[in-house]
Each structure stands twice: as structure tokens, then as C-alpha cells.
A and B are shown apart, each in its own frame.
Chain A
Amino acid sequence: METGLIILGIVVFIGLVKIIVIVSLRNGIVSAKNRVKRAWADVIAYQRKKLNVIPALEKGLKDHQAYELGVMRDLTALRSSVAKLSADAVNVSQLHEVDQHSKSLLSGLRVAVEAYPVLKTSELYAGWMRELAEAEENIAAAIVIFNSTVQGFNDRIQEFPGNLVNSWFNHELPLDTFTDSAAQGGFEYKPTFRR
């Protein structure tokens, strides 16, 4: 009788431990997903902050008669592509589009400045460019942090025993990290992942 109770106690204890582990793994996946969402929201927030500089830049270019059609077109394209980013859904390909427009705008600005030396020496312009550079720096940092949270999330749903808990309860799919395709293009070597 006593032995039976002990065995029953052990079984109940093991069962409780299993439940606690499963619940904490499930909640860990939910927290990791929320962290990814927060990191993504940061990326978008800093992309949008960058747009705050743009009206001043536009005005400055017009004031200095440095009205370059290409630059203005890049400004508009950047604005509309940032507007398409949504905080509710992680969309790495849309982020790529924003990144392309940003790079194109920055190189266009550089060309415009070379053509208009008055603009180059303008303190206001230097200020905008500094703000833009800071915004770019924060976007790049936000992307690094976003990628590391995505990696943390993917590890949680792919590594044992998190993969089992995910297939039973969360049903989450691995997320893509953001990679700079232009930078990657510079390498001849490309790793081959079978899965």
C-alpha cells in the first residue's frame, strides 16, 4: 500500500515537472515571438524617424537650387516604401526595398552636393546629413538586434525539446533574418545549407 503511494507520488511529481517544463517552453516561444515583434517595431520606428529629416532636406535642396530630379524621385520612393512597412507583420522583403531606396537616396545626395559646392559648405546641410547618418546608424543597429531576436526565436522553435512543444501548441514557422544582398554579392563564397 505504502509502496504504491510512493510510486503514485513519484508519477504525479514527474507529471507536474513535465507540465511546468512544457508550459515554460511554450511561454518562452511566445515571449521570443513578442521580442521579435518589438525588434521589428524598432526597425520601423527608426525608418520612420529618418523620414522626419527628409522634409528639411527637400526644402534645403530647393533653397540651394540643388533641385535634382533623381534625388527628389528617391525621396518620394523612400517615403512610400517606408509607409508600406507594417508593425503588425514582419516583412523582410519590404525592408529590403526600403534599404535599396535609402542607399539610392544617399548616393544621389552625395552627387547633388558635389555639383553644388554652396550646399557642401552649408552648416544646415551638414546638420541634416549628420541626423540622417545617425538615423541610418540606428536603423542598422536595430536590424542587428532584430536579427539576433529572430535567431533566438528560430532556435527556440527548432531545437529539442522546443520543437516538440512548438508542434503541439504554438505552430510557429521560422522567420527570415534581414541580410544585405548587395554586401553579400561581394563574396564569391556562399554556404550551402541542405535544409
Chain B
Amino acid sequence: MNHNRQLDELLSQVKEKAENAREEKDFASVFSLLRDFQQTAGPIKYDNRVKWYVFTAIGVLGGGFALAYFLNPGIQRELGDLGYAILGAFALALIVTLVVIGLANSAIDEISELIFSKDVYFDNGLEQVDIEGKQKGLYREYKKAFGDFRNRGDEGRYVKRLVKGAWTGKEHSFPYEHYAFHYVRVYYVPVTTKVGKTTVTTMQRRTETLYRYGLILDFPFVKGLAARSGGGSYDYPEEFQPVSEEFNGIFSVGAASAQSAAKFLKPAVVLAFLELAKHFNGLNVEINRDGRMNIAFSDNDVLDLDRKFSIAQPDEFEQEIRSHLDLPKLRLLLEFVETLKKHNDSNF
């Protein structure tokens, strides 16, 4: 069996094992497979030599034809536009060959990413929730519960991804959900076209796909309060301004009662908000009247981490997978929640 076919077989085995992995330990068999392959069949990399030969052959033939076509008026006359079509075909064949070469090793990256992202979830105690068929229903439920989901977009509104997690802090432990909310904004722009001597201006429909992300969890210590800096629509009648000018420059606070807002926004809590706002865009924090908290923002990298190695380097990649892959922005959010809980969990 040639190298590429052996590699195809290896990758399908590795993919299957990675997909079925339920904990970090399950990746051990993946790495032993990869190491065995390296020792017996060679590097975990597609051999693209034949494809490069084909690419070179097409290039030489195409170049030769172009020279003959442009330097010889006789051939030009004889072939006419067909000559350009042939040149185009050569160019297309070159592009297709390059794309095939480029894509050959993408399967390696794809599987590496699968293993890495699953391990990020394992290391941080995260679990993807199956919301197939419930995505729109979840959006409607969240819209009813939280102001950040209101006044957002015109169509295509649904919860795209839901991930469950649990935080164990020094003083508080709690479960939470991380969501990705998809919505589409529709807008119209004037477009002027010329029809004969007259110009016609029509309004053309454009769409923009946007996302909001957030954490949802229980926060039973305060009810009916929102500190917002990034849109949404909230229904809390009492406005409140803590003493910090910096805080008031970023957030607007609305609450069911000014007293509960004053009690909630202790100085340490105000500083925690300011610190979090340095790392997140469009931050909105709400604790609704049912004591559910939603921390919403526009940052899409809370559950993302950059991968350094791939399955092509089994030893280094295994070390990377074995290390604890911490999600710094998720940690910031959860520590923020713990600070809020700590300062609001007593009547002191």
C-alpha cells in the first residue's frame, strides 16, 4: 500500500477515536497509533510529489502553448478564440492542482483541531449541549428572560451553540451555560444604475450576520438589575449611578429598585466590573427578576485557544494535550461571577 493510502486509513481511524473520546485518557490510543505509523510508514504528511509533477507538466505545456500562440500569428488566425479558451483551461488546471495540493494536508489540521477542542472542553469541564431542533425555542425563551436578546437583528435569530460547565471557586461553586446567539441585521442601501440616459436609484437589501455570546447562571442574591454597555432592551425603571465616574462612563444601570442597585454595586463590585470591561466588548450584565444572571458580550474567543502542534508531531502534540488548557477569558468571567457572589451572599 502506498504512503498516502496508509495515511488515509490512519486518519480515518484517528478521527473515529477522537470523535468517540469521552475523556482525555481516551486520546492515549490515538497517540500510540500516530507513533506506530511514524515508525513504520514515515511522516504523518501526504506525499504530494506526483501532484507537483502534474502541476509542473501542466505549467510547461501551458507555457509552451502560450509562447507558440502569441509568437505565431498563423496559429492565432487558425485557432481564433479557441486559443484563449485553451489558455484558460491550462490556467484552470494549474489552479485546481494547487488547490488539491493545498487541501491534501488540511485533513491533518482538521483532526488536530478536533482533538484539541475536545481536550479544551475536557480540561475546563465543558460539555456541548445537543440543541438540535430547539435553537429557535431557546432564543424565544432567552428573549423573554433577558434584555440582551431583545432589539437584536431582524431575522435568523437562534441560539447556535450551548455549552454547559461548572465552576469550583474558593468560596462559591456553580453550574453555568455558555451560549452563542446568531442573528441577522437587515438594512437597505441606495444603489444608482444607469438605464439609457436616465439614472434610477433603488434601495437594495443587505444583510449582516452577527453574534452575541454570554454566560447564564443562577444568582439568587439580587433580583431585577442590569448594567449595560452594549445595546439590548431592558425593563428596569430605576436608574442608578454609583460614584465612580469611570464606571458611569461605560455602564448605565437600571434596577427594579435603586436601593437594591446601591446594595449590589459595592465598591469592590464596581472595580470588578471595570476590570472585566477592559477584556470584553459590549458587556451587559443582567440579573433578572427570577434571579437568573446573563453576562453578555461580543467576544467570540471565550472558548477558543490557539493550538501550537498537530498530529503530524505526535510527541509534542501529546504533551500539549496532556497539559491543562486553561481558557483565560472564561476564567475572568467566572472569577467575576465569584466576586459578585462573594460580595452579595450575606446581609453584612
* B270 and A141 form a contact (CB under 8 A): yes
For the complex formed, measure the closest distance between the CB of A111 and the CB atoms of chain B, giving whole angstroms: 24
* A138 and B243 form a contact (CB under 8 A): no
B343 cross-chain contacts in A, Cβ below 8 A: 134, 137-138
Docked complex Cα distance between A141 and B348 (Å): 17
In the complex, identify which listed stretch (A45-53, A86-94, A161-169) lies at the interface while the others stay far away.
Answer: A45-53
For B343, the closest partner residue in chain A by CB is A134
Docked complex Cα distance between A140 and B271 (Å): 10
A60 at the interface (CB under 8 A from B): no
Docked complex Cα distance between A131 and B346 (Å): 9
Give the residue among B244, B246, B270, B342 with the most A Cβ atoms within 10 A: B244
A30 cross-chain contacts in B, Cβ below 8 A: none
* B243 and A39 form a contact (CB under 8 A): yes
A49-B348, A134-B348 in contact; A141/B245 too (CB < 8 A)?
no
With beta carbons under 8 angstroms apart, the residue of A35, A46, A52, A131 that contacts B267 is A46
A175 at the interface (CB under 8 A from B): no
With beta carbons under 8 angstroms apart, the residue of B171, B271, B346, B348 that contacts A145 is B271
B104 at the interface (CB under 8 A from A): no
B322 at the interface (CB under 8 A from A): no
For the complex formed, measure the closest distance between the CB of A48 and the CB atoms of chain B, giving whole angstroms: 12
With beta carbons under 8 angstroms apart, the residue of A46, A130, A144 that contacts B271 is A144
A49-B348, A135-B348 in contact; A141/B243 too (CB < 8 A)?
no
* A148 and B268 form a contact (CB under 8 A): no
Q: Which residues 115-157 of A sit at the B interface, judged by CB distance below 8 A?
A: 130-131, 134-135, 137-142, 144-145, 148-149, 152
* B346 and A149 form a contact (CB under 8 A): no
Docked complex Cα distance between A137 and B272 (Å): 11
Docked complex Cα distance between A135 and B268 (Å): 9
B266 at the interface (CB under 8 A from A): yes
A96 at the interface (CB under 8 A from B): no
* A131 and B348 form a contact (CB under 8 A): yes
* A145 and B267 form a contact (CB under 8 A): yes
For the complex formed, measure the closest distance between the CB of A128 and the CB atoms of chain B, giving whole angstroms: 10
- For chain B, the count of residues having a C-beta within 8 Å of the partner chain is 14
* B245 and A149 form a contact (CB under 8 A): yes
For the complex formed, measure the closest distance between the CB of B169 and the CB atoms of chain A, giving whole angstroms: 13
A148 cross-chain contacts in B, Cβ below 8 A: 244-246
For B342, the closest partner residue in chain A by CB is A134
Docked complex Cα distance between A35 and B342 (Å): 27
A134 cross-chain contacts in B, Cβ below 8 A: 268, 342-343, 348
* B271 and A141 form a contact (CB under 8 A): yes
A99 at the interface (CB under 8 A from B): no
For the complex formed, measure the closest distance between the CB of A34 and the CB atoms of chain B, giving whole angstroms: 10
Flag B231-262 by CB within 8 Å of A: 1 or 0 each: 00000000000011110000000000000000
B266 cross-chain contacts in A, Cβ below 8 A: 46, 138, 141
New A-B pairs, 19, CB < 8 Å, besides A138-B267, A141-B270: A35-B245, A38-B243, A46-B266, A49-B348, A53-B348, A131-B346, A131-B348, A134-B268, A134-B342, A134-B348, A138-B266, A139-B267, A140-B268, A141-B266, A141-B267, A144-B271, A145-B244, A145-B271, A149-B243
24 pairs, A vs B, C-beta closer than 8 Å: A38-B243, A39-B243, A39-B244, A46-B267, A130-B171, A131-B346, A131-B348, A134-B268, A134-B342, A134-B348, A135-B348, A137-B343, A138-B267, A139-B267, A140-B268, A141-B270, A142-B267, A144-B267, A144-B271, A145-B243, A145-B244, A145-B267, A148-B245, A149-B244
